[in-house]
Amino acid sequence: MKHAVYNKKRQEQPASAPVARSSEATSRDGAQSGVGAAKGSVSSDAAASVSSHERSFAGRGAGRNGVRGGFPALYDLLVWFALFIVAQLVGAAAAWTLGLGPRPDGEALAPDEMGRMLAVSGGVAYVLALILMLVYRRVRGGRGRLIRLSIRGFDPLFLLWGLIFMLAVGVVLEPLLVLLPAPPAQLYGTGLWTIVAVVVMAPLFEELICRGVVLESLRGRFGVVGAWALSSLFFGAIHLQPQLSVNALFMGMILAYVVIRTGSLWSSILLHAINNSIAYVALAVGIDHVSLSELVQDPAVYGVVYAMCGLITLVSAVMAGRVLRRLHRAEREKMAAEV
């Protein structure tokens, strides 16, 4: 069948391009034989520079298998976002039903009471959101594995780089974030239940949702780069508060890259938990709304720290960008070989 289509195309092409046709056919045959010899791997140049976990991710995205009806389309992201918000409202209602909501007399909740309310509402909301999003994906025809919890790609040095990258980006973003409205500190409370909600539940479920369901679904339609970008936008959007959303957008870019690079959600869950732990410590000691420049006070020292963080951010972003470009190229080569 392929030969018949190819011969028909050759007859329809003008006779003035025999050299181009010959070159194209030779290039195509060479690419197909190269893919056959490598048993479906990417080209030798890409294979030398892309890890097995990255090649696996690129290969899964390039196949475009397991989806029907154009899922996921961009509007599916909006539906998922709406389902997440509905789940948050249900979680809040559940907490109020259990007597953990605002008091009738308007008196503020104690920090530990606020933590209990956050844990209950968050637990209900996260579980419900995950279920609703998985059901919607199933109804829309989404198929394939989503939750990747392999430890084969676990690399402590890479995770250390990811943590340094996240901290550096946080410093670089600080001048922008201080201009945006911040969530009230009393929104989270303090104590054991707040730790459970912020350090345990949020990293676990947000990674399952954003880097599990969303990222893995998107890469089957939009490829690795599109999935990386759109899942990060989704992660930023679900945080709602302007300051949190902007910060989450950039953190999401790093966490999505970590999952792509390692092939496992464990790495992003751990980094997410560490990031939230740092935020909780700052909240507990009362410096969550204090900028680094206010803590350092010396403008010269702050300038040096900011410049170093800027350099780390730039170098790390370039390194990550190169890997994403290689994965994108590997995807295109695989797709071309399968045609």
The confidence score (pLDDT) of residue 111 equals 79
Which residue is associated with the tokens 């609703």? 132
The confidence score (pLDDT) of residue 28 equals 46
Using the predicted structure, report yes or no on whether residue 331 has a pLDDT greater than 60. Answer: yes
Question: pLDDT tens digits, residue range 96-154?
Answer: 888 887 776 667 778 788 889 999 999 999 999 999 999 999 999 887 777 777 777 77
The confidence score (pLDDT) of residue 113 equals 85
DSSP character string of 216-273 = HHHHHHHHHHHHHHHHHHHHHHTT-SHHHHHHHHHHHHHHHHHHHHHS-HHHHHHHHH
- What is the pLDDT averaged over residues 237-258? 95
| Percentage with pLDDT > 70 across the chain | 78
Question: pLDDT tens digits, residue range 150-160?
Answer: 777 778 899 99
Question: pLDDT tens digits, residue range 13-71?
Answer: 444 444 444 444 444 444 444 444 444 443 444 444 455 555 555 555 544 444 444 88
Between CA 135 and CA 157 the distance in angstroms is: 37
Which residue is associated with the tokens 């190169």? 322
